[in-house]
Structure 1
Amino acid sequence: MQLSSTSTGLSAALIAAASFGTSGTLVKPLLTEGWSPTAAVAARALVGGALLLPIALTMLRGRWHILWPARWRVLTMGVAGVACTQLAYFAAIQTIPVSTALLIEFLAPLLLVGLAWARTRRTPRPTVLLGSALALAGLTLVIGPGALQPVDPVGLAFALAAAIGCAVYFLVAARSGDGLPPVALAASGLLTGGLVLALVGAGGLLPFTATFGSLPMFGTQAPWWVPLVLLALLSTAVAYAAGITASEALGSRLASFVGLLEVAFAALFAWILLGEALTGVQMAGGALILAGIAAVRAEPSAEPAEEPVPYRVP
């Protein structure tokens, strides 16, 4: 049973990483044609949540009572895991390079290792420390060594806030004690986060613009809604549902390390779909991330509170 659960969790985590990895490629046509990042992310979250909503309602049929105990989990997922993470990231790249912001944001797995260290007061075992070092080295190679440079302290603070939000996403996703199905948490969290982002944009706190004509996409012209629907379906609905499923099955630590493969998948999709060269250094970085995941997986999780709670559709 445990082996089956772990295998399912790893499969879901890989699907989530690959799905999240398509976001840069799919959002690029929108940003190029005048969509602001806040508008694109808000639309992505709202449409993605709406696509998941019918499935979530079906899975919740007859069990509406579980929504109330899960309200804080949903709110935290939407506000911290979706909205604040995205807002902090986009605020960070206003003053620091994108590669640096990504490198800092994806320190979330190391934050989770540090949190477990502080909670248990036990030094992580060598396999976890080795896996952390390998994964960090691989992440640096995939994103680019140029990410390691002096940066504006305000931008650095926002990037660290994005990393904390990312870590909160994995922690909240793994806390399945309320019995809320992963798809229901993903749908409600995305709708909540999308609404927060829309309100921020409407309030003028961040630029919020969108265009609604044809745009270039993969060498041809497409209506504006085509990349948006693909972004909402693949990079959002599938990604969040699979990611939450993986976190419930694997625990936040291992799921977050597998999530580092998102940057490798992003580089791969940019190479296949946009013609952006995939270098040998990036491929070596991907191999190091895999080695880090293998090392972390070899260490049993010390997260008893994150054991999945079975749920059934009546």
Structure 2
Amino acid sequence: MSFSNPPSPADHHHSRIGAGITLGLAASLAFATSGTFVRPLLEAGWTPGAAVFWRVLVASVLLAPFGLWAMRGHWGELRAEWFRVLAFGLLAVAMAQGMYFSAVSRMSVSVALLLEYMAPVALVLLAWVRTRKAPSGLILAGSAASVVGLFCVLDLTGARLDGLGVLFAMGAMVGAAAYFAIGSGDSKLPALALPAFGLPIGAVALGLLIAVGALPYSAPLVDVTLLGHQVPWWVPLSVVIVVATAAAYALGLAGLPLMGERLSSFVSLSEVLFATAVAALILGEIPSPMQLLGGVGIIAGVVLIRLDGMSTAPAPAEELVALD
């Protein structure tokens, strides 16, 4: 009879990160469907504000029963961490979504995406300032590779800049950074608590912006063109709500604590790659060789960040025992 050794802390650490990366990639794929399926609505006269409002509002209704079920016995934790949930709803939902769509209304999608996806680099710089400790060579190399890859994947040909649009996009970057920082922090809340209770807060905030005229609103309930066919408006909107919002937030927030804010923010760059692939499959927008090269750069950056995490994995238990 043979006995296998119990898994070491390092093995457990790596398995947690592996599970987190899997959830993060699934979330990125889900988020990536939003652009392709919201486009028919925008072409039919929907404003970005209307699309994001209904996206967040209905998704919050869908997640509410699951959130209430997950919160059984945890209401004390929710009361204790109410500020965390409020900040998530205002920053990671309302600010990130509203500012991004506002930026898109004034400038090209590619530039808005580029600025928003500077969030991983911003988190690295923030950690540098906060800890006064320079990032490792792997972190710096991974950041550089990801940024170069992002430039290549996003087609900036003919891109136009708009001062207010840039400010909106920077606001979206702050919201995206808040998503990773808040979602990966220490918490006793179930994973579903943040999306289940944060999305309604975001919906209320977006509704108030629409009510005061800060977000233009138009949502004609007409048939739209999707995959060459005329379909009711609610068909693409349903995909955006169920897949790109409810499922994406739930999956992403389940994976964030397993990876940590730095690695998860770089894994999220895969959303750009998935968005390109979805557009190629559904809209026939074939990526160029430069975009494929950019994809390699983003993946290389994530791998370098992951290698840095492996080099700092927890030591085996026997090495952590203090000697008198």
Distance 1:108 1:226, change over 3 A: same
Q: Secondary structure at the match of 2:79?
A: coil
Taking the aligned partners of 1:267 and 1:132, their CA distance within structure 2 comes to 21
Give the aligned residue type for 2:251: A
Identity %: 42
Q: Distance in 1 between matches of 2:67 and 2:288?
A: 41
Tell me if structure 1 keeps the 8 A contact 2:48–2:105: no
8 A Cα contact 2:93 2:198, kept in partner: yes
Q: What is the 5 A alignment of 1:279-294?
A: 279-294=288-303
- Aligned-pair Cα RMSD in Å: 1.9
Letter in 2 for 1:164: V
Specify the alignment match of 1:127 in structure 2.
Answer: 138
Runs of 4+ displaced beyond 6 Å: none
1:150-299 mapped onto 2 (5 Å cutoff): 151-177=161-187, 179-299=188-308
Q: Secondary structure at the match of 1:216?
A: strand
Deviation at 1:236, TM superposition (A): 0.4
Q: Which moved more, 1:266-275 or 1:158-167?
A: 158-167
Residue 145 of structure 1 deviates from its aligned partner by 4.2
Contact 1:47 1:229 in 2 (8 A): no
Letter in 2 for 1:255: S
**For 1:157-199, what per-residue CA distance to the aligned partner results, in whole angstroms no more than 9, with x for missing partners?**
222121111101110101132x111212112111111121122
Counterpart AA for 2:49: T
- What CA deviation, in whole Å up to 9, does each residue of 1:45-71 have, x standing for no partner? 111121111111111123222211121
C-alpha contact 2:100 2:168 (8 A) present in aligned 1: yes
1:92 to 103, 107, 116: 103
Structure 1 residue 121: deviation in Å? 0.7
How high is the TM-score relative to the length of structure 2?
0.88
What does 1:35-54 align with in structure 2 at a 5 Å threshold? 35-54=46-65
Question: What's the CA shift for 1:262?
Answer: 0.6
- Which deviates more, 274-283 or 122-131? 274-283
What is the one-letter code of the residue matched to 1:168?
Answer: A
Change in Cα spacing, 1:95 to 1:33, as seen in structure 2 (3 Å) is: closer
Q: CA deviation at 1:154?
A: 2.9
Alignment partners' CA distance in 2, 1:150 and 1:94: 12
Give the aligned length.
302
Partner of 1:308: none
Unaligned runs of 5+ in 1: 305-314
Unaligned runs of 5+ in 2: 1-11, 315-324
Shift of 1:211: 1.7
Q: TM-score, structure 1 length as denominator?
A: 0.91
Bigger shift: residues 186-195 or 106-115 = 186-195
- Distance in 1 separating the partners of 2:214 and 2:116: 22
* One-letter identity of the residue aligned with 1:163: M
Q: Secondary structure at the match of 1:67?
A: helix
